[in-house]
């Protein structure tokens, strides 16, 4: 038998999970920007749809709809890129892709993905000092 190679990592975590992994930091930054842009765009689209169907103002939907559609396609490409570099399973990648379709969920997914890939600890609210 040969001795294990010390260069090969034996821990459970993939080397791509390390924020210093080649290309992962840039892919994460691009994904974060896209997630915020798509999240805000989706909220604008929701407002435009309310104006369209509730107040008969279709001009806003005609502008915001195609812009959001284009930005969502960019989000899809950047999320797939991040998923490949982070070595996510297909189901995880698809769930993150779908997060851009539900209002506010892209913000939640972005925060969760960032914490996972950067290894940032969960922030807990400060506890009130007990009096007495």
Give 58-116 pLDDT, tens digit per residue: 999 999 999 999 999 999 999 999 999 999 999 999 999 999 999 999 999 999 999 99
Start-to-end C-alpha separation, the chain: 65
Distance of CA 56 to the CA centre of its chain: 34
Distance in angstroms (rounded) separating the CA atoms of residues 84 and 72: 18
Distance in angstroms (rounded) separating the CA atoms of residues 48 and 34: 20
CB 33 within 8 A of CB 103: no
Q: Which residue has the tokens 């169907």?
A: 53
pTM: 0.76
What does R_g of the chain's alpha carbons equal in angstroms? 20
């Amino acid at each position: 038998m040969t001795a294990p190679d010390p260069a090969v990592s034996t821990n459970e975590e993939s080397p791509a999970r390390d924020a210093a992994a080649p290309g992962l930091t840039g892919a994460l930054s691009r994904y974060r920007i896209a997630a915020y842009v798509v999240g805000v765009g989706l909220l604008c689209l929701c407002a435009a749809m309310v104006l369209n169907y509730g107040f008969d103002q279709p001009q806003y939907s005609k502008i915001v709809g195609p812009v959001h559609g284009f930005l969502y396609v960019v989000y899809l490409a950047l999320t797939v890129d991040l998923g490949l570099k982070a070595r996510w399973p297909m189901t995880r990648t698809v769930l993150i892709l779908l997060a851009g379709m539900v209002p506010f969920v892209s913000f939640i997914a972005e925060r969760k993905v960032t914490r996972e890939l950067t290894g940032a600890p969960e922030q807990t609210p400060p506890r009130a000092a007990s009096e007495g």
